[in-house]
Structure 1
Amino acid sequence: MSKNKLKSEKPESKKLRSSAPDANTLKKDKEAEVKVKELVKDERTHKVLGMICLLLSVYFFIAFTSYLFTWQEDQDKVFRYSADVLFMTDLKVDNLLGRLGAFVSHWFFYRGVGVASYFFCYLFFILGINFIVGRRVFRIWRNIKHILFGLLFISTGMAFIAIHDGFPWGGALGDAINRWSIGFIGKTGTALLLIVAGLSWLIWKFNFDFKWPERKPRPPRAVPEPAPAPVSTAAATAMVAAEPSAKRRNALKGDGGVMVIPPNADNEPEEDTDMQLVEREQAPAGPGITYIPPAPDIPLEEEEEPAAAEEPEEEEEAGPLLYIEETVEPAPKKKRTPPEEVAFEIKELKDAEEDLPEDVELVREPVHADPYDPMLDLRDYQYPGLEMLESHVNEKVVQDAGELEKNKNQIIDTLKNYDISIQKISATVGPTVTLYEIVPAAGVRISRIKNLEDDIALSLAALGIRIIAPIPGKGTIGIEVPNVKKSIVSLKALLASEKFQHNNMDLPIAIGKKIDNENFIADLAKMPHLLMAGATGQGKSVGINTLLVSLLYKKHPSQLKFVLVDPKKVELSLYKLIEKHFLAKLPGEEDAIITDTKKVIHTLNALCIEMDVRYDLLKEAGTRNIREYNHKFVQRRLNPQKGHRYLPFIVLVIDEFADLIMTAGKEVEMPIARLAQLARAVGIHLIIATQRPSVNIITGTIKANFPARIAFKVSSKIDSRTILDIGGAEQLIGQGDMLVSFNGELVRLQCAFVDTPEVEKVAEFIGDQRGYPEAFMLPEYVDEKELEGKEFSLQDRDPLFEEAARVIVQNQQGSTSLLQRRMKLGYNRAGRLMDQLEQAGIVGPNMGSKARDVMVKTEADLEEILNTL
């Protein structure tokens, strides 16, 4: 190949002509090999094979059935000419499928397995169904095992039953096995063998339950028990020690934790009995039960329960015991729970567990249709691999013992200068920051240490000292000191972690690592919205890429859609390649990455319409959130003809929120506030980033609905308080160092780093695969200001006018929300369509909250009206 390539680059025409045929020949061989592989994997090939299998199944069934009636007329012809009968055009046979049908039937019946040949029809039928549907409807290997057993058993059994009949009921195979078996064990033995084989298969298949009726034992006559004689504590101890281990063992609860107080003797002082405790192992116990024998002055004749007489003799020798729960009741209790009842309850529990597989087997019968799988639209979709991400050189955390010792001494000396003594100090080394935990001496006020933040920073000559006084959940004070040698936290390490790979989160996002090197993986669906802020160049854009890439690695395109807003026009442009997989946009828009402020307003309002439509779907389905709704839809308990559909999660990402507020103001703030308040239950989540965390940008309305917040380094303590309601973000060191406020905790993290080429590789890998025909379409939104002063006329009616009219007439319901759900329209466009339908006389006038009357009752009348317009 290299020589041919070098020759082709030379200018001489003769050499070009001589090398061309070799190159073409090699190229054709390579293309043919690739096409064969693709042809084998193509689902169309599988469907063709399925049709062929179904044809063979029907062909064999007709040929075999015809053979049952025409075998006498056709058998001599097949015997005489053998395979030549297939090519004798002047020969006529009576089989419905001609000479081939007669020949095939003869071989399957006479020279094969007889009437058991019908199993081959079943085999080709299940193969054809599996190939056509594209998944395992029937279990092939399990059915093949049943078919093999049926071929042997049916052919042998039919040959045995019709041994002197002229028709080959068992075929050559059945006759051969039958003759050998009769010669070996006789006719009676063969019959018994066939009966046992058939019953064994039925028992193995259906697991019949053979139970002999139980005889209930007659309760014995109650005999009064003699009162035990007074026993001293020493004698009681000796009696317990002398008992055999088999009698004393607790069969239900093991050997531990049961304390027994022996009976008091009349002649012994009460103080001695309180000190004498004997461990007893005999009485059967449930968890947390103490056994106390009754006092000897309680007459046992008063016990009226008949079960008391059923106790074993061993139990009676040890003395009757009372069962008292952890909440101990008074000792002189006359009734008791016999041990037999405890064992009886456990036996019932076993019976229930044994019957459970039968109930489960009944539930698993294919009564309902198979669950709906939203991933089948892109069944060949492949998730990106970790090899597309890079492992950085300085990723490993470096522990410099000299640096740690120096910082420790500086902290201790600085505190001593201010007469503050400490008891203990420990260090935890993280990727960029080391946490020193100190335990102050008794009597030291925490505020004194907190006020020394600048002095400790001066003594350590470090930037970004942060004091946590005290650390939540610990009795220590934390001092965070930046490392001299910082480590990079790669996104690849987080995505490869066990915590990210195996979780039950709806939208898992890998954010970064804590100071103790623990991976911080959170669920965006439970946040439910995320607010990111920080100064320019501190890692916001990298943080957004980290969140988006981690979602791309975990979710299928059918489960997740992104709405990307990028006023800077360059930060999120890499994700254009995955438009037909993961992006959502407005109808009629060319670019899925929204950069124009006016289009941002329309997109946010379209998301509000989508939210309202989803809430209507949840209301009709009787569910409270998107997980319950999708579970019902997957189980095929919701009808798509009524507007129900599988709802993917939608994540709205706004890269520079401050620019939108400056240019649009309230028009942007109001829909975002609505989404933040209501959208979490229907699977719409927001990620908003800004570099100006001022009060007029992050207003109280927005801030109240964003409980999860990320703060990168900011310039002042006021900005930190605006984001986190607490200071500390101004002490960060930048380059991905951040504070995360989530679930009431404030955690310092080092953000995972993913570079632009890595994001580009992932986007190209996804974009090169087969996607949907177009991006996910949001409902259409039309600004009401653009419609003011405009009157509807039937001459310029909406392009969807006729479709909307048919939907209204078919359902006989003049509802705007019906058009929204069925046709996936916005409220404004659906309202305009309803007004045009009113002018055309299809629906009646507006009746407030009630649905309009439908004036046209049949589709034939509707077609006449549409033809006249």
Structure 2
Amino acid sequence: MSKNKLKNEKPESKQPKGTTPNPDILKKDKEPEVKVKELVKDERTHKVLGVFFLLLSLYCFIAFTSYLFTWEEDQDKIFHYSTKELLFGDVKVDNLLGRLGAYVSHNFFFYGVGIAAYLFCYFFFIIGVNFIVGRRVFRVWRNIKYILFGLLYISMSMSFIAGGNNFPWGGALGDALDKWTSGFIGKTGTALLLLVIGFSWLIWKFNFSFKWPEKKIKPPKPVPAPAPVPVAAAGTAAAAAPVAPQKNEQARKNGLREEGGILQTPINEEIEEEDLPPLQLVEKEELPIPPAHAAFMPPVPAPVIVPEAPAQWQSDLIRTEEEEMEDPGPLLYIEETEDTASVLQPKKKDKGGEVTFEIKSTYQDTEEDIEVVAPVMPLEPVDPFDPSLDLRDYKFPTLDLLENHSADKVIVQDTTELEKNKNQIIDTLKNYDISIQKISATVGPTVTLYEIVPAAGVRISRIKNLEDDIALSLSALGIRIIAPIPGKGTIGIEVPNVKKSIVSLKHLLASEKFQTSTMDLPIAIGKKIDNENFIADLAKMPHLLMAGATGQGKSVGINTLLVSLLYKKHPSQLKFVLVDPKKVELSLYKLIEKHFLAKLPGEDDAIITDTKKVIHTLNALCIEMDLRYDLLKEAGTRNIREYNAKFTQRRLNPLKGHRYLPFIVLVVDEFADLIMTAGKEVEMPIARLAQLARAVGIHLIIATQRPSVNIITGTIKANFPARIAFKVSSKIDSRTILDIGGAEQLIGQGDMLVSFNGELVRLQCAFVDTPEVESVAEFIGNQKGYPDAFLLPEYVDDKDPDGRELSIADRDPLFEEAAQVIVSTQQGSTSLLQRRMKLGYNRAGRLMDQLEAAGIVGPNMGSKAREVMVKTDSELQEILNNLL
């Protein structure tokens, strides 16, 4: 054998003493001894157990909560399959935590303690917290007593309250306790027993005080305080006098010191820092420059120290002596910009007492704004998923499809008309002894705003009451007085222009404000009086209510909103649900059905005109809203923006039902017709969508010709904060739509008032003609689209007789067995069939409907059990023989 070969020798410890160890012998490693006691006491073991119990608590909480919503679908599968198939098979359940979650929840609720099972989540939570923290945060044994009491009391109480309900609120334990107690002391006795036990536990836990309030004793009369001691002025000897101890503290605060029990005024003594009053910010007033003999004047008190003004203001802070003598008041600092340079120029007072008049500059579109720029899809994040890849070749409509209706890009300011109107306004006010200090004009597309500053002492209500007199003097229709203008110290008088300008939608869509917009749903509405483009986000509104008389621009306004969305959004990002009771207004958009429209499954026309289909569509939208909220809940997000961001980052699994959610805009062209024909069936789903659908990306645009209170109810108005009012026939209609008058004084043809974000703005609606809408729709419709329109969830009306016919020939195989159970127990309860026959809620409910059709049980009576019509087995057998 070689020398390098290892030999089997005795361990080194057993070798005789005095012998040298052989290097060729392989030493055995010592096996570490695991001590159970040390492992149990180890801090790491406690933390691992704490994490386990916390996760167990969270797991049970999620499973139980999901069971509240999925118990009807999962019960059939749990009863039908064995435990082995359920846990190790391929059964699909609806519980968020899968088959194990459904199985555990069913056993805790159905065979256990019902809703009181949530106490187990609390028990696992307190155990986990105690283990992780390493100390007794919660008292375990005290909480165990409370949990045991809660399991018995809550389960029995829920079974007693929800007796006859299909959901196992109290579980098997609660039902057993309730059945025994009700049989022993009756229903009334059981109710009293539960009340006594509940109040007894509350009194034992919180020890409420039931003492009768004692009579208050009048306090003794206060003793009059001694007269205060006079103190001499600083710098001289003070008159010393003894002072009561309770006065010392206040005297010290007044700057006096105590020596030998006598308060004296300190001489040449520094005041401590904590005795100084807090520093206050004082508004600085401009002091006049002192004359040359100011050095011989008596000294003035030290000025208040304020921070030094910035360098760019130094020149503004200097005024000459003549200016100071003319206006000795505080200075007003105004930061001057290029846009306001002409307005803020100083104006000298006219010696003749004439009112100053100026024409304010308005916002003008530049050549770059009108340049035709093709919209570009915003770049997606680095993540590869892009919802627009389904239509990768889609091209946005170009601006050359629209027409430029206004030949002049700049609003023409007729100085003769402006001067004439100015003089008429001033003369009318003078006739009523109302003087003004200043008047200015802002020229808009259709209306000119005259802003006046009344003289001191003039009441605003006097000017407001002269609305008709000013309209008479100007010979104009649609005079509107804003007294005062919000955010300004002026009164506004809106006068229609003799020569009106058309606001073209092409100008608004080509502007930089729209092209560079990052809004979710940008809509170009129109232009303000100062010619500024008004572009808002429909997703922030979040719903829009439009009203106006016939022919005042509602249909054009709807086309403006829809076309502006088509120019900005990809078909994968936006879907329209169009409701058109008139059948002709929205038919232009049928060409884009496979790109932007949504409809019900099985419908041929995506433009909804039938009232019954409108009801089905609105309820289908409610179902879609609920489904989207379920997706947001599973994804852990709060709104559609966060959800789609997660989905595009591939953080959500499509195999679990997650999908990219496009925005859905519901457009109703004539809401009054729907209310008159369907009433509550339309109002209720509209109200639901308006209340809840904002977060999941469903927005509403509703238009009506009749803004009366029976059409636009309080429920509708409360959930439509953004409103547009075209010209209406009366002041009552204006108050119905806007909560304020003014819409009855509009001049029509797109002149409108927009109430948004608490502001009321007058706009001229952008104009888009029918051929332009056709061109845009044809441009989109000629491109490759989806195979079909976006399908909404299917909705089945419970009141539809076609879906409620029940055929006895197609009865359940367990029909006879169920009938025998019902007749033998004389209890027409669906939950009884579930327990006796191990059925799910859906199948047990169908069996009960079939028994009702056969005349064995009576109709549904709510939470109470049905009446059993058959009393004996012989009667039942006769009925069964007749059904064969």
TM-score by length of 2: 0.49
More relative contact order, 1 or 2 (CA 8 Å, 6+ apart) = 2
TM-score by length of 1: 0.50
